[in-house]
């Protein structure tokens, strides 16, 4: 039996060279599932395998495995040097399949339902809005930190800086006055200890009321619980804005952050895995 991918519509291309197309997964020309492929030209390009679904009667027959391998071939043809796949926490079989195919986890999407009455901040700690002067300094530092994360994933430095700048411009077009974006400074006993960047409503990814884009503690003040205080501040800001679900992305190798979020009640929603396309 032959498993192939059959396009369901025309390929979509963006000005930056990114590509996307939907496919049916077919066995001897019989549709048994669907999958979407994208190539993000900004990052390499990096291919993504999205929304793989195999019909219930055809599961446990290797259809998904062959579909992923066929998808990788398409992405190689598009010039992708690496591919990513997102696996829901509830799909243990899909996670095992991805790992068997050589994918390794690099990040997780976590989420939490915000309590009706979030805990108060520790004594001596409080949050305040970031002002325009602070924003200018923070924006430069945040862009550089984001660019370093991208270069650590194999993105060339010049391109990483361009992507970091573009993403900041897209998410914070009006700086501290951007609608749906909350930028807060945490102070403890009068000393600035960290920064919170929270996206609400349209500034949060689909399926979430709010998303933590950045939690950053002043380097010399780390290890004193200020990261936890920033996350509690995020919950309180969410409730004040009427947001009930809060999410974030954490890199798997950031063990202290994973421990912190787990202790605060965050649960894994999706595993993000990657694989080089040699």
Residue-wise pLDDT tens digits, 65-80 = 999 999 999 999 999 9
DSSP 3-state percent helix, strand, coil across the chain (nearest 5):
35, 35, 30
Provide the mean pLDDT of the chain. Answer: 94
CA 58 to chain centre: 31
pLDDT, tens digit, 9 for 90 and up, residues 81-105: 999 999 999 999 999 999 999 999 9
151 Cα distance to chain centroid: 16
pLDDT at 53 over 90: yes
| Angle at the Cα of 74 from the Cα atoms of 72 and 75, rounded to 5 degrees | 65
Instruction: State residue 174 phi and psi, 5-degree precision.
Output: -115, 25
For domain 3-108, the CATH architecture is 3-Layer(aba) Sandwich (3.40)
Q: What does CATH list as the number for 115-243?
A: 3.40.630.30
Confidence of residue 1 (pLDDT cuts 50, 70, 90): low
70: left (phi over 0), alpha (psi -120 to 50) or beta: alpha
Across 7-21, average pLDDT = 94
Tokens of 47: 């291919």
For the chain, the farthest-separated pair of C-alpha atoms sits apart, in whole angstroms, at 69
DSSP 169-204: HHH-TTGGG-TTEEEEEEEETTEEEEEEEEEEGGGS
Cβ proximity of 249 and 111 under 8 Å: no
What are 200-257's pLDDT values in tens digits? 998 998 889 999 999 999 999 999 999 999 999 999 999 999 999 999 999 999 999 9
To the nearest whole percent, how much of the chain has pLDDT over 90? 90
pLDDT of residue 16: 85
Q: How far apart are the first and last CA of the chain?
A: 27
Among candidate residues 29, 67, 28, the one with its CA nearest the CA of residue 50: 67
Find the helix or strand (DSSP H, E) in which 101 lies.
none
Residue with tokens 């006055």: 177
275 pLDDT more than 70: yes
pLDDT at position 152, please? 86
CATH 3.40.630.30 in the chain is located at 3-108, 115-243
3-state secondary structure of 257: helix
CA atoms within 13 A on the CB side of 108: 18
pLDDT in tens, 147-188: 998 998 888 899 999 999 999 999 999 999 999 999 999 999
pTM, two decimal places:
0.91
What is the pLDDT confidence band of residue 5, given thresholds at 50, 70 and 90?
A: very high
């Amino acid at each position: 039996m032959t498993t192939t991918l059959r396009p369901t519509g025309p390929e979509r291309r963006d000005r930056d060279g990114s590509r996307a197309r939907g496919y049916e997964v077919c066995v001897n020309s019989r549709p048994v599932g669907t999958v979407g492929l994208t190539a993000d030209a900004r990052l390499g390009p990096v291919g993504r395998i999205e929304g793989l679904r195999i019909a219930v009667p055809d599961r446990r027959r290797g259809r998904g495995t062959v579909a992923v391998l066929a998808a990788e071939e398409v992405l190689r043809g598009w010039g992708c040097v690496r591919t990513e796949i997102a696996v829901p926490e509830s799909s243990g079989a899909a996670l095992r399949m991805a790992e068997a195919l050589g994918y390794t986890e690099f990040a997780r999407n976590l989420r939490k339902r915000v309590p009706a009455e979030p805990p108060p901040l520790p004594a001596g700690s409080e949050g305040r809005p970031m002002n325009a002067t602070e924003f200018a300094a923070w924006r430069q530092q945040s862009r550089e930190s984001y660019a370093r994360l991208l270069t650590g994933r194999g993105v060339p430095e010049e391109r990483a800086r361009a992507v970091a700048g573009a993403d900041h411009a897209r998410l914070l077009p009006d700086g501290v006055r951007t609608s749906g974006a909350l930028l807060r400074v945490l102070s403890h006993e009068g000393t600035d200890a960290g920064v919170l960047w929270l996206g609400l409503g349209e500034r949060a990814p689909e399926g979430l009321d709010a998303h933590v884009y950045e939690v950053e503690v002043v380097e010399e003040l780390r290890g004193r619980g200020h990261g936890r205080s920033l996350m509690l501040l995020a919950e309180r800001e969410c409730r004040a804005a009427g947001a009930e679900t809060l999410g974030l992305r954490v890199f798997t190798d950031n063990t202290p952050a994973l421990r912190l979020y787990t202790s605060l009640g965050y649960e894994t929603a999706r595993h993000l895995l990657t694989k080089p396309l040699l």
